[in-house]
Amino acid sequence: MTKITAAISAVGKYIPEYALTNKELETMVDTNDEWITSRTGIKERRILKGEGLGTSYMAIKAAEDLLQKSNTNPEEIDMVIVATATPDMPVASTAAYTASKIGAVNAFSYDLQAACSSFLYGMSTAAKYIESGRYKKVLLIGADKMSSIIDYTDRATCIIFGDGAGAVLFEPNDDGLGLQDEYLRSDGIGREFLKIDAGGSILPPSEETIKNKQHFVHQEGRTVFKFAVSNMADVSEKMLTRNNLTKEDIQWLVPHQANKRIIEATANRVGLEDDKVMMNIHKYGNTTSATLPLLLADYEKELKKGDNLIFAAFGGGFTWGAIYLKWAYNS
């Protein structure tokens, strides 16, 4: 009996119109274009403007782009996962709302949160549902409105993050294409270094937490950078080693877009040249759960059936990992 693998069969994206440039940030905080570019590689990031527009707005747009491009009937979708760190609401599922709005009336759905590793973990989750043989079409969306949790007087975080959404469709494959291997990890030591203090069960919202700006992202940059560099590089190298792959076997590294120096360190560890590394951080900044699918959408025309892709991500928690996937179609 042929083994079922889970392959990506379509991609979609949505990027807000408004671009927040480094030059504009110079008027908001004590920073400058040269400093931001040299340390992060970011030139601009997109910001979702408009009253009442949240993460679901972008998730729906990315899903609709995918459905239109692939001519997929939303009623055939079995499941919708929205990977996000910024759900519309704390309780009501963003995925459930997204599924209903796109017409996926036969799907069940839920949100998945692992900070910047959310989409990577979502790939693993979606693949398992496909590999079970019970589900045929799983829509995985990575979407975050990071501007909703960023303090634009804090230059340590406001220069990094942006808003956006990307979507992929997983379907069964019997040619051995799709997800091949994964190595996912987490370590609670990271809880103190990248977090939002208030709004959860430990410290519910109050007048005091709002006054103290405890509902915004706080990051200890040097510590997070150190962990991200070592862990993203380690898991990427492990993925090659345990699958007997050399750098010549890899067509693309698909790394989380947090910092250009972290991306370069990961690529150097596995010996990949720049032309094998997907990168769009200069255009979008760190869109958290959306970085990986946005890379796929931006590079889709360059991907060929059978290409070997190594995905790698690192996020708060700490959470991190790598996935080895064979691309399933020619654009």
Rounded Cα distance between 163 and 33, Å, is 20
Residue 84 contacts residue 144 (beta carbons within 8 Å): yes
Identify the CATH number of the domain in which residue 88 sits.
Answer: 3.40.47.10
Residue 140 contacts residue 119 (beta carbons within 8 Å): yes
What's the pLDDT score for residue 221? 87
Residue 67 contacts residue 102 (beta carbons within 8 Å): yes
Statement to judge: residues 161 and 235 lie in one domain: no
Statement to judge: residues 209 and 322 lie in one domain: yes
Q: Give the number of residues written for the chain.
A: 331
Residue 158 contacts residue 25 (beta carbons within 8 Å): yes
What is the tens place of the pLDDT at every residue in 214-247?
A: 999 999 988 999 999 999 999 999 999 999 999 9
Per-residue pLDDT of the chain in tens (331 residues, 90 and over written 9): 679 999 999 999 999 999 999 999 999 999 999 999 999 999 999 999 999 999 999 999 999 999 999 999 999 999 999 999 999 999 999 999 999 999 999 999 999 999 999 999 999 999 999 999 999 999 999 999 999 999 999 999 999 999 999 999 999 999 999 999 999 999 999 999 999 999 999 999 999 999 999 999 999 988 999 999 999 999 999 999 999 999 999 999 999 999 999 999 999 999 999 999 999 999 999 999 999 999 999 999 999 999 999 999 999 999 999 999 999 999 8
Statement to judge: residues 193 and 144 lie in one domain: no
Statement to judge: residues 18 and 136 lie in one domain: yes
Taking only Cα atoms into account, the Rg of the chain, rounded to an integer number of angstroms, comes to 19
Number of domains present in the structure of the chain: 2
* Burial (Cβ within 10 Å: 0-12, 13-18, ≥19) of residue 117: buried
CA-CA distances (angstroms) from residue 268 to 191, 254, 261? 28, 14, 10
Angle between helix 55-70 and helix 94-102 axes, rounded to 10 deg:
40
Would the pTM count as exceeding 0.95?
yes
Statement to judge: residues 130 and 186 lie in one domain: no
- DSSP 3-state assignment of 316? coil
Statement to judge: residues 65 and 82 lie in one domain: yes
Residue 100 contacts residue 92 (beta carbons within 8 Å): no
Rounded Cα distance between 222 and 41, Å, is 16
What's the pLDDT score for residue 331? 85
What's the pLDDT score for residue 1? 63
Residues marked active site are found at 116, 256, 286
Statement to judge: residues 192 and 304 lie in one domain: yes
Tokens of 74: 């939303």
The helix (run of H) or strand (run of E) holding residue 63 is helix 55-70
Rounded Cα distance between 311 and 322, Å, is 5
Statement to judge: residues 170 and 189 lie in one domain: no
Rounded Cα distance between 58 and 302, Å, is 25
What's the pLDDT score for residue 72? 98
Statement to judge: residues 123 and 227 lie in one domain: no
Residue 320: beta bridge partners? 185, 314
* Burial (Cβ within 10 Å: 0-12, 13-18, ≥19) of residue 268: exposed
CA-CA distances (angstroms) from residue 296 to 75, 167, 231, 254? 24, 9, 22, 8
Give 107's contacts (C-beta < 8 A, 6+ positions apart).
77, 78, 79, 80, 99, 139
One-letter amino acid identity for 166? G
What is the tens place of the pLDDT at every residue in 259-273?
A: 999 999 999 999 999
Statement to judge: residues 117 and 57 lie in one domain: yes
* Residue closest to 94 by CA, chosen among 144, 147, 142, 56: 56
Domain boundary among 175, 200, 218: 175
* Residue closest to 59 by CA, chosen among 165, 168, 137, 140: 165
Statement to judge: residues 219 and 155 lie in one domain: no
